[in-house]
Amino acid sequence: RVVLTPAQCLETWQEAINPTDANIIHVGGINHWISYDGGSNFICPAKWSQPHKKGYVHADIHDINYFGNDLWFACDGGIFYSNNSGDSIFKKQYGIEGTDFWGFGTGFKDGEIMLGGAYHNGTLLKDKNTYINDWLCTDGGDGIRGFVNFGNPRIAYSDYGGKILSGDRTKDISLFSINKQPNASYIIGESSQMEFDPRCFNWHYIGEDSTLWLSKDNGSSYIPIHHFDNKVTSIEVAWSNPNVIYVATWPGWWDEKKIYRSNDAGNTWTDITIPSSLLNGYLSRSYDITVSSYDENILWVVRCTQSGNYNSIDGYKVFKSVDGGQNWINLTTSTLDGEHMTNIEHHRGSNGGVYIGTRNTVYYKNDIMNDWIIYDNKLPKSTLSTQLVPYYRKGLLFNGTNRSAYEIDLYENAPPSAQIAADKLKISCSNDTVHFIDHSAVRLNSASWQWTFPGGTPSSSTQEDPVVVYSQPGTYDVSLTVTDAYGTSSQTYNHFITYTDSVFPITNTTSLYQDFEAGIFPPKSWETPPASFSWEVINIDTGINCLPSTVAYVNHYWIEQNGKEAYLISNKVHLAQGYDAQNWLTYDYAYSGFSGYADGLRIEISTDCGGTWDSIYGASGTALQTTSYVNNAWYPTCGSWKTDSINLTNWGLNGDTIKVRFVAINDYGNRFFMDNVKIDGQNILSINEIKSELNIAIYPNPTTGIFTIRTDLDNIEIEIYSTVGRLVLKKNFLGGLHTINISDQPKGIYFIKIQNGTKTEQRKLIIQ
């Protein structure tokens, strides 16, 4: 009697008996089990999660058979083989195209980067030829997502978050958290996607549940754009005008699906669903959308069936609008009879060309063709197209399917379609460098580029992806002309780059105060530079005053980026000035920690707009805790907050313009919370005193301690103070040149208070 528990199987029970020893019994369920005593006891040589073991077989075994002394396994991971009764087992499936992709994405810049979740398998990743036989099985099973960043193909996204590809099979892929994930389902038409704004490769839209979200920091945080009544599925941002966005929704399996359009980047929406009078019923079919590369008002949609067993809605499958969805044209012909649509993609630069994926094959049609043609290079029948992806740089069309991934030449050689993109569109003095990216549909082997950047350095470039520095506040235009063997295309964006440089002054009546309650994060003029994880904002029940509050936090509990750092950088602040002025930085924080892990916080100051940073505070682990360890995901409680104060003047900061950088250091511990950041001053000179224009020169400065004061004033009095307010020297002068010697004083920062009658001025002196 063979004894296995249901928990050991949970799949259809398959078994094989060794032909030379009937006591050796193999049973397949989720895992492979072996008995050497006729079924009285079983062992599992390797679980589904242990592919490093020599007896590993992929999970979900559907057949086991001996053929002579050869033992064969058929499972969700393919075909496995053993020639020694299962002691060691090997894959025997290379060359068999059998992966059922539920999600599929490829690199725009590098089509050799591919990623996709697979049915009953891990997410498959191709990073050129980095891995043995090209593909790596990563993440857990049954993933549905797969996206690649269009501007940086080393960044990819799956069901398990973001990945930074190493390009080396001996080195780990770095992971980073994504704050939200797009809707995902194995049902055709129920998934959303990561839809990039064509202008910026750190900006993308997703549909999570019934809300359209926008991230401007590569997934670290998201802004809600619009809440629809139903689940958000297909999203398309228009190439020619990214303020125009199209969204399809899914209320339920049998409910009528909808299409919406926004002309103002998602602020307002109009229902443009195809009228039921044009659809001949079956309103529950979902939509996939694609938009013209040259006209935001031209779009195509296909109606997708949730199952291949449903009515194929012959005669009502493909529609086009040339006026933004106000009116619709039926493009369906009898050639498409019997086909069930799955996805649609526009061929950028072409004359209205679109590819359609179905549950069987691929079709193509442009505006001068009378009918659809099958364009699949004789793919196996039937091959369900999960996602079509044009790879313009090499003139290819990729097709992720239920029977592996395929490529074919694009149907036609179309002229290029220019598209300007960058890593960011808003800059400041601490972030004044823009990495531009050519996002054009262009053939690489014959491509040339002509960029112009009025006001930037350089002001023009013929590189594919130039780097430009801006030095002054303002808005800047950008133009691009791309040329290849098939034509030329140009694009200009006015006011594309915005450089802002605001400074908040600390005075007798104004203090910097940031409580993170404004509803935007990072706050205006603050920054969270891209990193493997990030500061975020969160609403909590218990703030510093035991009331609900919105605070900044870092979710170390779910982030395993040990030793990595994330920055939250303040706007520029001009500190209080005066010989006895005091500048204070205060903030509230809460942290419980997690036993055995030590997350950290460091606070840094820059006086050169982020060129260099000096640390003024640092703590980690128990030194950072405000309450005892909590070994689960923790939120602050009443009494678990603390307030910290730092006297910036003690660090020689008086009258300086600074930025403050809060540095979160990850150790996979617990959540860190911060609120109520404040910078204020005491004993501040009045504005008139600070800005008085006395005709006095002090040089050299910095100095060794011996310096000259030159003035044409008849009578002045100077007082020199240390940063802690100690009077070093007091002296009266008449006009002329005067040598001062305080070389016996320690190196550091000093303040010279200068008085002439009713006028007062303060200067900073540095002794080196």
pTM beyond cutoff 0.85: no
Kindly indicate the confidence band of residue 724, based on its pLDDT and cuts at 50, 70 and 90: low
Cβ atoms within 10 Å of 501's Cβ, excluding its own: 16
Kindly indicate the confidence band of residue 686, based on its pLDDT and cuts at 50, 70 and 90: very low
Query: What are 145-155's pLDDT values in tens digits?
Result: 999 999 999 99
Give the Cα separation of 633 and 296 in Å (integer): 45
Query: What are 568-610's pLDDT values in tens digits?
Result: 999 999 998 766 678 899 999 999 999 999 999 999 999 999 9
Query: What is residue 22's predicted lDDT score, i.e. its pLDDT?
Result: 95
Give the Cα separation of 724 and 641 in Å (integer): 30
Query: What is residue 683's predicted lDDT score, i.e. its pLDDT?
Result: 66
Kindly indicate the confidence band of residue 689, based on its pLDDT and cuts at 50, 70 and 90: very low
Query: What is residue 382's predicted lDDT score, i.e. its pLDDT?
Result: 86
Output Rg (C-alpha) for the chain, integer angstroms. 33
Query: What are 609-657's pLDDT values in tens digits?
Result: 998 999 999 999 999 999 999 999 999 999 999 999 998 988 878 888 9
Query: What is residue 677's predicted lDDT score, i.e. its pLDDT?
Result: 98
Query: pLDDT: is 9 or 217 the higher one?
Result: 217
User: Strand order of the sheet with strand 706-711?
Assistant: 696-699, 706-711, 736-741
Q: What is the DSSP string of 629-642?
A: --SS-----TT--E
Query: What is residue 763's predicted lDDT score, i.e. its pLDDT?
Result: 79
Element (H, E) at 690: helix 687-690
Q: Where are the alpha helices (DSSP H) in 506-662?
A: none
Q: Are 480 and 491 in contact (CB under 8 A)?
A: yes
Percent of the chain with pLDDT over 90: 75
Q: Is 635 buried (19+), middle (13-18) or exposed (0-12) by CB count in 10 A?
A: middle
Query: What is residue 425's predicted lDDT score, i.e. its pLDDT?
Result: 97
Query: What is residue 499's predicted lDDT score, i.e. its pLDDT?
Result: 95
Q: Which residue has the tokens 């549905």?
A: 144
Percent of the chain with pLDDT over 70: 96
Query: What are 239-294's pLDDT values in tens digits?
Result: 999 999 999 999 999 999 999 999 999 999 999 999 999 999 899 999 999 999 99
Measuring CA to CA, how many Å separate 14 from each of 24, 25, 40, 68, 73?
A: 14, 11, 17, 18, 10
Neighbouring-strand partners of residue 208: 211
Query: What are 517-551's pLDDT values in tens digits?
Result: 998 889 988 999 878 788 999 999 999 999 999 99
Query: What are 54-82's pLDDT values in tens digits?
Result: 999 998 999 999 999 999 999 988 899 99
Query: What is the signed CA dihedral for 654, 657, 659, 660, rounded to 10 degrees?
Result: 10
Residue 102, φ and ψ in degrees, nearest 5:
-95, -20
Q: Does the pLDDT at position 4 exceed 70?
A: no
